[in-house]
Structure 1
Amino acid sequence: MKNIKIFILHGCPYCHNAMKAWKELTAQEAYQGMTAEWIYEDEHPESAKGFDHYYCPSIFVDETKVYEAHPGDSYEVTAEKVREALNLAR
């Protein structure tokens, strides 16, 4: 399995959507046992060095950005991008 890193912020509604989607998707048989490194960027800003992004959540699979939230993204958009990351990481 490839490495998944997800940069999030405390209090971020889009990050909450990503966490909710992750929980729902990894409960499905196809994604059970998959893991990600969840990094609270407001606590560990140094961890984001080398990862090109502005908005959170931002999802990277083996150092390649597969999603960066944009203001107004719906839960469905975020969930689909989380699914895409899971599929790429398998």
Structure 2
Amino acid sequence: MAKAVKMMVLDGCPHCRNAFRMIEELKQEHPEYQNVDIEVIEEQREEEKTRGYDYWYVPTFFVDDVKIHEGVPTKDKVEAVFKEAIQ
């Protein structure tokens, strides 16, 4: 079973949109990533869910509450989140 993944985002963030595109591409290329459930948290609407998490930039990914990536995503960095989640 995959580890819990949280993704902090902001509506309208171009880097977040790119990250979502990369997530979909990676799930298409790697069927084993399909089972990774990513809880998307919009930090302005769901501020209470961001308490206790240390980050400044979005998108930020946490796997089992450990920060794996923060800021401008690349496909390799997003894949590192998936790899950590399925370990």
TM-score normalised by structure 2 residue count: 0.89
Q: Structure 1 stretches (4+) deviating beyond 2 angstroms?
A: none
Contact 2:3–2:36 (CA under 8 A) maintained in structure 1: no
Q: Which moved more, 1:47-56 or 1:30-39?
A: 30-39
- Residue type of the alignment partner of 2:84: L
Q: How many residues align?
A: 84
Partner of 1:11: 12
Q: Which moved more, 1:6-15 or 1:26-35?
A: 26-35
Contact 1:4–1:62 (CA under 8 A) maintained in structure 2: yes
Residues in 2 aligned to 1:12 and 1:47: alpha-carbon distance in whole angstroms: 19
Structure 2 gaps of 5+ residues are none
Contact 1:26–1:33 (CA under 8 A) maintained in structure 2: no
Structure 1 gaps of 5+ residues are none
* C-alpha displacement of 1:45: 1.0
Q: Which moved more, 1:77-86 or 1:59-68?
A: 77-86
Q: Which moved more, 1:30-39 or 1:50-59?
A: 30-39
* C-alpha displacement of 1:58: 0.4
Partner of 1:46: 48
- Residue type of the alignment partner of 1:82: V
What's the C-alpha RMSD, in Å, of the aligned pairs? Answer: 1.2
- Residue type of the alignment partner of 2:68: V
Residues in 2 aligned to 1:27 and 1:34: alpha-carbon distance in whole angstroms: 13
Percent identity of equivalent pairs: 36
* C-alpha displacement of 1:86: 0.2
TM-score normalised by structure 1 residue count: 0.86
